[in-house]
Amino acid sequence: MCFPALAEDQKAKPAPTLKSILLEQLRSTHSSEEWFVPANVAVEGLTPEQASWSDGKGNHSVGQLAAHLIYWNRRNLARFNGQPVDKFNNNDETFTSFDAKRWADTIKQLDEVMAEWEKAVETADEKKLQSWYSTIEHIGAHNAYHIGQMIYVRKEQGSWDADKGVKE
């Protein structure tokens, strides 16, 4: 999965636009298996118990990381769509809101908010993208960072299938 054949990728694609670049980044952290494992694969097959597992060293569980991504993606998407957002209090709460009993719903919400971001960018005009591109690219980087943590936690836990990527 790491480092796809660049020459083949670039031959098949038209010249990039701001929209296409942002969409590619959002999709690569959501469902498109390219350079790294996307969110949908990172959470795939985990039981609620596995999603709750922590190494006991202060690191977050996969479920907590998913809850955190849902929170920040939703909050920024609401802002992008001109909707009001609640006052922000404490980033720690974005992790601790995870409830293992609702793991299946958490997976669904993560997939939905990431798909909603893609749709929002697809339908946005150039002017809006020009004013939001930095935030959107940081959202993609933030998603990728925490998805990497999810894989690390799963590897530590012994629940990661190396055939899905990240063998080392």
Tens-digit pLDDT profile for residues 103-117: 999 999 999 999 999
Burial class (CB in 10 A: 0-12, 13-18, 19+), 52: middle
pLDDT score at 164 = 82
In this structure, the number of other CB atoms found within 10 A of the CB of residue 127 comes to 8
CA–CA gap between residue 61 and residue 106 (Å, rounded) = 13
- Please, are residues 33 and 165 in contact by the beta-carbon 8 Å criterion? yes
CA dihedral 120, 66, 1, 31 (to 10 degrees): -30
- Please, are residues 63 and 106 in contact by the beta-carbon 8 Å criterion? yes
Please report, rounded to a whole number, the percentage of residues in the chain having pLDDT higher than 90.
76
* pLDDT < 50 regions, the chain: none
pLDDT score at 166 = 63
CA–CA gap between residue 91 and residue 64 (Å, rounded) = 12
pLDDT score at 33 = 82
In this structure, the number of other CB atoms found within 10 A of the CB of residue 101 comes to 9
pLDDT score at 8 = 58
